[in-house]
Amino acid sequence: MRWRASLLAAALLGLVLAAIGIVAARPPPLDLTAAEIRSPVVLDRSGTLLRPFATADGRWRLPLAPQAVDPRYVAMLLAYEDRRFRDHPGIDPPALLRAAGQWLAAGRIVSGGSTLSMQVARLVEPRAERSLAAKLRQMARAVELERRLGKDGILRLYLALAPYGGPVEGVRAASLAYFGHEPGRLSLAEAALLVALPQSPEARRPDRFPEAARRARDRVLDRVAERGVVRRDEAEAAKAEPVPRQRRPFPMLAAHAAEAALAQRPAQAVHRLAIDAKLQASLEALVAERVGALGPDLSAAILVIDNPTGQVRAHVGSTGYLDASRAGAIDMAAALRSPGSALKPFVYALAFESGLAHPETLLDDRPSRFGAAYAPENFDQTFQGTVTARRALQQSLNVPAVDLLEAVGPARFIARLRAGGAAIALPRDAAPGLPVALGGLGITLADLARLYAGLARGGIVPDLVRRLDGAPAPPRDLPRIAEPVAAWYVADTLRGTPPPENALPNRLAYKTGTSYGYRDAWAVGFDRRVTVAVWVGRPDGAGVPGLVGRLAAAPILFDALARIGGEPEPVPMARDALVTTTAGLPPPLRHIRRDAPKVAGEAAGAALRIAYPPDGARVDLGLAEGAGSGLALKALGGTLPLTWMVNSLPLPEAARRQAEWQPDGAGFVRISVMDATGASDSVVVRLE
């Protein structure tokens, strides 16, 4: 017994000397800058993790709040590592006394008597040596951390910095790497494994030494059962749970969007996007399944836009970000590709807006030559004769679309697309020609989706809102792709487009496109709520025989809509829309023939033009006071009778060169006139 007393006295002396050493060895204030570095993370709209990124030195150290961890894990951690954590000032004297006695008895450090605070001090200021001096410095740092951060701050650092093997640090990264889910809900076995690994992270890595990991986990379960944290039967049942034998990949949802967000703000630690993680995961699975069945080397992209807000709810940039065989790292939603017939709706919108046509206007679909060499044919190499503009667009007939583009002018059409915010690329910077109606240009899926969202919004093209963090963008006047009436005419027409096989008709306004050489297949659809745009093709631009928008992209579009959920809602009818039959249209609008000139200046004799009001004029009619007078309209040239239209609606009994229109309010209006030969002119004025 005497030797034990001597040993205890020596241990107490050692403890006193240690305390003196702590005071004497007080180092300069601890720099916590490196300890606060976290992996950048990209979150969805509700805070769900989309994709984390490694730190600059290659570590996976994800931000984590203590309240986001399963409370049972924290209780087990404290019971196993530091039972008096909430009571001691960073150093636990009984534990130090035990450690000092073991040191004196064995002549070496057997156990360090480390508190959780001391472990954090070692993580913040790592030292390779295991010496008394190092231990004294660790104690001093523990006391300092307690004073600076308090208990919750100490726990927060431990949860973020605890090592779990290789580059994995912190409970959140470990839970994702070994279990594939967040640490908010852990099984008893999972929590015990996370408690056990940091003591010897390399020797107990489950992906390399699963048996060592299992034994360490089971020791934790025994200890916490002894201390009453869990019931013994629960601990025994947890031991039967297998230990994970491999690391799981970290989440990589919306990989391209996440990468773009980080590149935009590289210094920001947490990025929140407008994406819905659940929808994103569903659409990524859809793309992988559908494109995998279409054949090798193909990729696909999907963009989902919330029409009222412009928020991007899903962004699938490829079939699989890590699939090198399909060039998955390339974001095909941002790649310039030929849209095929997907731009035809905007040709029709411009023609409707300009007063050249109405959905019930008859158009000729017959062999035609434009200029010396351009003779477009339909996809099936047949012609349907005389059809309404509605049917021509629904059937995606080529000759009527080129006919209307010739009438409105290719340069004006391209200018309208660019004014709507689309970055249009023309071949070798050539002047716009008639082939642009059939896809003879380059556009991105994102820009095409925005333009279609504009049709759903009465012609106003939204800014794409990709992020929900930071200050909102300052308000601005949004661009227009069409006037409200013309936009609704197109939306109503496209809602009648025949759906793909096994899909219900008249549910979604949509259009497909196939580029020359079967390089790109497109399908874009919208209702009042959302716009969904789909592209399928090879990233290298090679053709794929049989790759057609209706067969390859449209089924993906309709499946995507089904996964979004909810009943499709038609775009509300524009207030001034004219719903009638062909016979109910003014005579010049009933049938447009190729042999009839359609552009002002082509008619025999003087060119038809609007003399008053001039284009761009601001006309003060006293509308603000509610006592406005009529607006005089005057045209020169052309062949009588004339048809005057305001916002695509014909004015009754206005067949002469002079007419009058009674406005019903202030704002912008488009005034058009058409003569008996089909020649037309239009202006936009602002009434005040």
Q: Point out the residues that are catalytic.
A: 81, 341
String of DSSP letters for 382-424: ---EEEEHHHHHHTT-HHHHHHHHHHH-HHHHHHHHHHTT---
Contact at 8 Å (CB) between 483 and 353?
A: yes
**What stretches of 23-153 adopt beta strand conformation (E)?**
41-43, 49-52, 60-61
Helix axes 484-494, 344-353, angle to 10 degrees: 140
Contact at 8 Å (CB) between 423 and 443?
A: yes
Residues 6+ apart with CB under 8 A from 438: 340, 341, 344, 376, 398, 401, 402
User: 3-class secondary structure for 130-162?
Assistant: CCHHHHHHHHHHHHHHHHHHHHHHHHHHHHHHC
Cis amide prior to 472 (ω within 30 degrees):
no
The number of beta carbons lying within 10 Å of the beta carbon of residue 503 is 17
Percentages (nearest 5) of helix, strand, coil residues in the chain: 40, 15, 45
Token digits of residue 288:
């992988």
Phi and psi at residue 183, in whole multiples of 5°?
-80, 10
String of DSSP letters for 579-618: ---STTS-HHHHEE-TTS--STT-SSSSPPEEEESPTT-E
Q: Which amino acid is at 209?
A: F
Phi and psi at residue 306, in whole multiples of 5°?
-80, 110
Contact at 8 Å (CB) between 61 and 160?
A: yes
Dihedral sign for Cα atoms in the order 326, 329, 331, 335:
negative
Question: Using CA atoms, how far apart are residues 443 and 449, in angstroms rounded to an integer?
Answer: 10
Question: Using CA atoms, how far apart are residues 172 and 158, in angstroms rounded to an integer?
Answer: 11
Token digits of residue 189:
């076995």
